[in-house]
Structure 1
Amino acid sequence: MVEIRAAIQIKYESERPILIPKDLVKLSKDKQWLQLRPTSQPIIELLTGQRPDKNASLSGSTAMANLIKKRNQSFDQPATPAEQLFDAPEPGSGKKSTRKRSLPDNQEEEVAMDINGSKVTCLMSGKRPRRCDLTIQLEQHQIETIIKTIRNDEDTATAAQKPEAMAVPPAVVQEVEAIVNGREPVNTRVTKVLQVLEHHGLCQQQTLVPSQVLCHPSNRGGQMVSHFDVWAKGHQLLVWRNQQLVQESKGSLAPVSGAEGYLSLASSHTTAFLRCLEHGTTDPSGKAISVPKTDPVWSAIQTGWRWHVVASSVEEAMPSLPQFFQVGANSGNAIGRATSELEAACQIAIQVQMGASLESAIQSVASGEVACRQSLPAIGHYVSRYSGGTSFPLLKFLSHFSSTYGTTCMMGQDFMEALSHTTFPDPGNLYPLLRTALWATQCTSTKQQDGFARLLTRADVQRLSSPQNMESVRTAESMLSDSWKLVQSQLPEGTSTNAGSNHLYKCFGKFCVRAILFLTKKEKLGPDAQQKLESLAQILDLFTQDVSKVKQATPAAEAKTIKDAVSAQPWEATLLQNTHIKVGDQYTLPKEHGAKVYQLLQISNEGGTMEHRPVLQAPETVFVPLAGLGKWRVSRHSMPAIGPADIITRGLPSSHAMAQEDFQKAAVVTALHQCYQEQSVEDLELLCMASSPQALYAKKAIASKKLKLVPLGSISKVKTGQKPPKLAIQAFGHDWAIGSWKQDLQFQAEGTIVPFFWCRTAEGEDEGNMVLTTIKQGPCTVPILHNPAKIQANEQILQKVEEEAATSASAKKKPRKG
């Protein structure tokens, strides 16, 4: 495969040549145009002659602003026709037009402006052409004119520097904090804060593309973004947190390049989704999404949009301000995801750590778009009692565990109140680890209803506090406490969330989920349903085994293995640089091979051999050069394979118990309906029904054994070991209970009328004219009522009391004292 690419370099005088990114050069009207994006590093270096800092921008350059203003004035000025019927008015006479021009969709227009006697041609486009970046014709003389104009500006030297260099005056801090603590709506306060910062040069509007933006670590209470949510909707420390987030997503987030210069507090999921599209990553299910280059989404990826960029010195002076901006952003985003209970708890904890009172922290969170508003008092109580102290380590664990292994759903007010306020009959223990385990387990719930987790309920939490369960609960709390201390002792010093803690948190989280599902007897509903859990001691052993495996897999353990990189062969060096590549493992490359799964068969100095084995087709082999192996990602899916014949046979409807039971139930229902049609009497000349009370009467005399009543109704299988009810059909070795449909007791056409269920039971032993017996109908033995003796006309039809019931009733009667 041969690729030919053309690149554009611009060299000014004796300076080093600048390579222009291809997305800044466009072809329109048979001409090439250069987009002078003020945040582009190559453009800044070309125009200023200085190597810019990472967060540099020309948005604050006076010369750049004057050039855009002059271009817009030329664009707004209407064209003068060649001949006019009336003389043009003199300058300054008449009413001045203030109307601003616009362009139709997808239309572009050339605009010429004069700069110090030189003509520079600009390209205008978009629905708001006056706000687009300065785009000039890619021509030597015009570029030189722009460079000289920019460099004559006094602000040019500082424009290439970080805006963070400016300190925040104390007066500005006081003014901003007064607005933040005000009582106005949160969006109004956010707007006012941005206006104050812009006025003092601490905030500016810039056009940024998604590849320049990462997620701020304070976003969503420290949870940042969820790779599930990214696909459902789309300096060292900060970059590392994003790299860790990418690693934990297992390929569902775009990698961190290290060239990003901005951290987002709003539109983070949208930005992350656009980065995923740009890098060709897959969604959490492993599905690759291809978007045509003609789709408008690529305009956002390549051109970007306007952002409010706040200097980092503002965060240093006011550490709680990012949290405030994030709350406001959630309130304003129409398609944003409202704050969940765990995010609200993390936001409350962060503000408390920064010196806010618990009440003010709760009020601050409530001012945003909070889906759990009714649960905030319970959440605040939980944060103050059960988070592990002033550093909130247990809350940090929940945040990390939920964002990595949890599902995106709400907990619900009932569950949160039970979690926070349930009292255990043990005055010496508040059971914080058990509550943590309950929350972690609920986060993994795959059983959901209307967006709320339904794995655990209020009743489950309250049942654990009952006296009969306290022995098991005390044992679980003790084990969880000891395990948590072990996790804390093995966390690298100085941080509670890093690459090593991910494995330890995973082990502790599995321990929590297993313990809670065992205590609530819901093991089959959990993600680890195949693991049979017999005791808490067994669950503790599994935790110990998981931790020991983690120790062997941590980066620290790998670093202790000595590798000879000097004498390593090329293929060995490739494996050392790409630790995820191993012979025998399975990989995918969605951008080139779609969703196909390949296995690395062998590797040599020339490259590696990948093989895909489709079902009932010849294997597909791909040879990958050593330089291309790093692009392949570990597959979370297995190679296509034909299922074992014995398992498939057991699963076929003719053999599977589920299908057999359904067939048997259908046969029982059919037999009951046939029995009713053949045996039961519905003759209204012979029978009549009465209401208040419900009763059945004979209009005419009925000879003995001529009246049969069949209990037609719903059918359900009686569980093994349970005592069958009186009305039950025996068939296929099981009992099948007969339930009554809703009867139309008041004759309002709101139910059925089955004569059997209108025949009441007699009160006395000698009363009644119908007895319960059985009849054979196909494979079933069906219970029915029939009359052993003649029933007189106008007589009420009553079922006789069974002998066992009558004997039991008479035995309960106490003799009167004489």
Structure 2
Amino acid sequence: MALTPAVIAEADRIMASDAAVNLKVLELNDLWLSNGLASKQVHGPERFCIHPQNRGGAMMNSFDMVTKGETMMSQGLRIDLLETSAVAFCMSSNAVKRDKQLAANRKCCSQAKGVMPEVVGDDLFLTVGSSHSTCYLKSMKQGLVKNASSFMKKGQPVERCLSQGWTWLILADTLEDQFPSLPLLYSSVLNSNNSVCVASTEIECLATISNCLKLGKTVAEATAATMQGEPACKEYLETVAFFAQKYTGGDEMPLVDFLVSFSKLYGQSIRLGQEFTQLITYFDFKLEANLAPCFRVACMAAQVASPKVQDQFAKLLVKADLDRIKSKSKPELLEAERLLKDAWVATQNAPLKDGERYTVFGRCCVRTVLYLSQKQKFDRENKEWNSLEEINQALATELLGPKGTSSSAAPTASPSKVANLLEASPSTVAMMQHPHLEVGGLYQHSDYGSQVFQLLELNDTSAKFEHRPLMQDAWTVAIALSDDLKQWKKTKKAIVQVVDQAAWSKYLVENNSAAGEAIDMQRMQILLYDTFVNLPEVDGFSFVSPPTGLCATINIPKGKLKLIAYGDLKRDDGKPGHKVSGYALSPPKAVGDMDNVTATSVLVPFWYVKPSMDAEAVNMQLTNAKHGGLAIPCYTNSRSIRKGELLLHAAEALLAKEASKAAPKKRKAS
């Protein structure tokens, strides 16, 4: 039956409703079945491939498939449970789209290194549920599973599935044409409720969000659609969405495809965990105008490739690693970001298959991250790299093939230029062979001890290095291109130079106004101290505790009690607070309980007049008292005070409240 406007409208209503996602799927199934757009059919595993949008586009991890299959065999296959999530779409009737569906499956199988069953060409359907189980049974039928015969005795569930098949809900391909996100919906729901489920990981959620965004959904809609599948990372799915939106390469999100492919290389799907996901998404590397997107993706790649796994969680990188990189390796981090960005461009232009491109780029990511984080002992390659330049050179070798010697000198050069060696000039070839050489860079050579040289020029005959001794003429060394330029090692040491007198003389003590300001402040501090200690003694109050405050010990007439401030003077930073002659005044360390007074405690009554929101209780007002030529903050009693009253001043909030009451009200327009 055709997909009528009425059916489309009803499907839209169901998918937009607030119903639980499982109920949505059941209601959609009834709609498709009642309108001839779906049917119950019995088929064996050989008729099925994986839908390209299964698990958000990740399709399948072959290690997960084997683990789930073995678990299913050890527990005993139950056909009734298998059928609860057995849903598939018909392959597209459009030849071009069908070829793409088959190509996606062939690519997925090629990455599985002979573990997953081959695409033989008589496949009819694309699974969005029971995908792992079906793929494992198909592998058994193709003879890829060892010791499978013990499960295939006649009449046993496995033998019945392989010889007779089991019941599937088959959806028409026209449904996917009309509702492009429908496979994502079915996949997310069906993969979360089967009996031996593999919960969606952060990488699979990245893939789902990416596919939703490509289908025109907003970030919020993509996140909500992914949430429907109850993924393992649902508590921090917004963080995963933020990572996808900010760091994965723009609208097409090509780095999501890379992470999905690379995450399948080394074992079962592992989780990154909330702590790491939020760390790598929101960490501030303190780089000016650079969010280090490539390095963040590289960290995620290193984490999913990590051999250090505990309870299915990757445990390679932690916050201390990123803190160390931020504080001690910032120049190398900037270089690593540039290297990774150029490596991505280079691998995408290389004459390799997608899976090979992702593998080469992934190795570069892992090497870079482990080198900067000083965790190369966890490298699966069992190799330590001495520099980012060496990692870059290894990348170029892998892009050029086994006989390639290096990458281009400029990391921004494309692989097409690297490969065109026949037309390259001698200087270009030299730069390709020695990517650590860069005009303007600084180098050292063991023949010249600790002296630092700058590479001035690299032409078709030689490389010229210049050394500039202090107070002497500079001199150069010309090295023939045929010599071993590897002996010239890049250095982080700077060239020591004589600084022009005009640049430093103004900062000498006698010329520096900052030094004079410090002396002026010290003089002002002494003047404040002398003024304070020579003030007449004030009585009529006492400290109370706890908490420490002040109260009147006698009846005090209005204006007769004056408490002058004293404290440390500091440079005024413009923040609100008490001031003395242009300097900020800060109190001595407060004493919260008089039982804790020590020999080093300094008590200034001014600072113990407490704020109050009770206007009637307020009895002290802030003024300025002039003594010794200084205007010093002072609390004066604004009314008569009875014996035993606490000394209180108006809190800032009370002053603001009273000011708003005093402000003239605007007349309403008549």
TM range (shorter): 0.5 to 0.7
Q: Give the partner amino acid of 1:470.
A: K
Residue 389 (structure 1) shift: 0.4
Structure 2 residue 106 is the aligned partner of structure 1 residue 243: yes
Q: Give the partner amino acid of 1:343.
A: E
Cα 1:289/1:442, change in 2 over 3 Å: farther
Alignment: residue pair count:
375
Residue 524 (structure 1) shift: 0.8
* Cα distance in 2 between the residues matched to 1:317 and 1:325: 15
Given candidates 340, 345, 349, the residue that maps to 2:210 is 349
Does the CA-based 8 Å contact 2:202-2:272 persist in structure 1? yes
Q: Which residue of 2 aligns with 1:182?
A: 17
Given candidates 65, 77, 88, the residue that maps to 1:230 is 65
Q: Which residue of 2 aligns with 1:133?
A: none
Structure 2 residue 345 is the aligned partner of structure 1 residue 468: no
Aligned ranges for residues 428-467 of structure 1 at < 5 Å? 428-464=289-325, 466-467=326-327
3-state SS, counterpart of residue 348 of structure 2: helix
Deviations 1:124-150 (A, max 9, x none): xxxxxxxxxxxxxxxxxxxxxxxxxxx
Structure 2 residue 3 is the aligned partner of structure 1 residue 168: yes
Structure 2 residue 354 is the aligned partner of structure 1 residue 501: yes
Q: Give the partner amino acid of 2:381.
A: D
Residue 169 (structure 1) shift: 2.1
Does the CA-based 8 Å contact 1:203-1:311 persist in structure 2? yes
Cα 1:483/1:306, change in 2 over 3 Å: same
Q: Give the partner amino acid of 1:236.
A: D
3-state SS, counterpart of residue 331 of structure 1: coil
3-state SS, counterpart of residue 320 of structure 2: helix
Does the CA-based 8 Å contact 1:323-1:347 persist in structure 2? yes
Q: Give the partner amino acid of 1:278.
A: K
Given candidates 385, 400, 406, the residue that maps to 1:533 is 385
Cα 1:537/1:289, change in 2 over 3 Å: farther
3-state SS, counterpart of residue 170 of structure 2: strand
3-state SS, counterpart of residue 263 of structure 1: strand
Structure 2 residue 370 is the aligned partner of structure 1 residue 517: yes
Structure 2 residue 115 is the aligned partner of structure 1 residue 262: no
* Cα distance in 1 between the residues matched to 2:138 and 2:267: 23
* Cα distance in 1 between the residues matched to 2:349 and 2:151: 51
Q: Give the partner amino acid of 2:292.
A: Y
Given candidates 469, 478, 485, the residue that maps to 2:338 is 478
3-state SS, counterpart of residue 361 of structure 1: helix
Residue 292 (structure 1) shift: 4.2
Does the CA-based 8 Å contact 2:192-2:198 persist in structure 1? no
Q: Which residue of 2 aligns with 1:293?
A: 152
3-state SS, counterpart of residue 233 of structure 1: helix
Residue 289 (structure 1) shift: 4.5
Deviations 1:40-88 (A, max 9, x none): xxxxxxxxxxxxxxxxxxxxxxxxxxxxxxxxxxxxxxxxxxxxxxxxx
* Cα distance in 1 between the residues matched to 2:403 and 2:234: 41
3-state SS, counterpart of residue 512 of structure 1: helix
Given candidates 345, 362, 373, the residue that maps to 2:234 is 373
Does the CA-based 8 Å contact 2:188-2:228 persist in structure 1? yes
Cα 1:288/1:442, change in 2 over 3 Å: farther
* Cα distance in 1 between the residues matched to 2:283 and 2:210: 21
Cα 1:267/1:525, change in 2 over 3 Å: same
* Cα distance in 2 between the residues matched to 1:425 and 1:412: 24
Aligned ranges for residues 682-721 of structure 1 at < 5 Å? none
Q: Give the partner amino acid of 1:477.
A: E
Does the CA-based 8 Å contact 1:327-1:365 persist in structure 2? yes
Unaligned 5+ residue runs, structure 2? Answer: 70-97, 405-670
Residue 517 (structure 1) shift: 0.5
Residue 547 (structure 1) shift: 0.9
Deviations 1:10-45 (A, max 9, x none): xxxxxxxxxxxxxxxxxxxxxxxxxxxxxxxxxxxx
Given candidates 142, 159, 179, the residue that maps to 1:279 is 142
Does the CA-based 8 Å contact 1:414-1:458 persist in structure 2? no
Does the CA-based 8 Å contact 1:179-1:189 persist in structure 2? yes
Residue 167 (structure 1) shift: 4.3
Cα 1:360/1:298, change in 2 over 3 Å: same
Q: Give the partner amino acid of 1:277.
A: M
Q: Give the partner amino acid of 2:398.
A: D
Aligned ranges for residues 777-792 of structure 1 at < 5 Å? none
Q: Which residue of 2 aligns with 1:202?
A: 37
Deviations 1:172-223 (A, max 9, x none): 2222122112221111100001111111111111111101111000000111
Does the CA-based 8 Å contact 2:219-2:241 persist in structure 1? yes
Q: Which residue of 2 aligns with 1:590?
A: none
Residue 367 (structure 1) shift: 1.9
Aligned ranges for residues 564-579 of structure 1 at < 5 Å? none
Q: Which has the higher contact order (CA 8 A, sep 6+)?
A: 2
Does the CA-based 8 Å contact 1:405-1:444 persist in structure 2? yes
Q: Give the partner amino acid of 1:368.
A: G
* Cα distance in 2 between the residues matched to 1:213 and 1:313: 18
Does the CA-based 8 Å contact 1:186-1:328 persist in structure 2? yes
Q: Which residue of 2 aligns with 1:320?
A: 181
Structure 2 residue 401 is the aligned partner of structure 1 residue 549: yes
Does the CA-based 8 Å contact 2:201-2:233 persist in structure 1? yes
Does the CA-based 8 Å contact 1:407-1:444 persist in structure 2? no
Given candidates 410, 419, 425, the residue that maps to 2:286 is 425
Residue 396 (structure 1) shift: 0.9
Does the CA-based 8 Å contact 1:387-1:432 persist in structure 2? yes
Unaligned 5+ residue runs, structure 1? Answer: 1-165, 492-498, 553-818
Deviations 1:226-258 (A, max 9, x none): 110111013111112112222211110111110
Does the CA-based 8 Å contact 2:151-2:158 persist in structure 1? no
Cα 1:271/1:536, change in 2 over 3 Å: same
Does the CA-based 8 Å contact 1:401-1:505 persist in structure 2? yes
Cα 1:508/1:330, change in 2 over 3 Å: same
Residue 303 (structure 1) shift: 1.4
Residue 288 (structure 1) shift: 5.6
Cα 1:176/1:449, change in 2 over 3 Å: same
Q: Give the partner amino acid of 2:345.
A: K
Q: Give the partner amino acid of 1:417.
A: Q
3-state SS, counterpart of residue 442 of structure 1: helix
* Cα distance in 2 between the residues matched to 1:462 and 1:354: 38
Q: Which residue of 1 aligns with 2:269?
A: 408
Does the CA-based 8 Å contact 2:51-2:127 persist in structure 1? yes
Alignment RMSD: 1.9
Cα 1:417/1:463, change in 2 over 3 Å: farther
Please report the TM-score for the alignment, with normalisation by the length of structure 1: 0.45
* Cα distance in 1 between the residues matched to 2:109 and 2:196: 23
Does the CA-based 8 Å contact 1:187-1:332 persist in structure 2? no
Does the CA-based 8 Å contact 1:407-1:443 persist in structure 2? no
Residue 290 (structure 1) shift: 4.0
Deviations 1:756-815 (A, max 9, x none): xxxxxxxxxxxxxxxxxxxxxxxxxxxxxxxxxxxxxxxxxxxxxxxxxxxxxxxxxxxx
Does the CA-based 8 Å contact 1:503-1:550 persist in structure 2? no
Q: Give the partner amino acid of 2:341.
A: S
Q: Among the aligned pairs, what percent are the same residue?
A: 31
3-state SS, counterpart of residue 319 of structure 1: coil
Q: Which residue of 1 aligns with 2:54?
A: 219
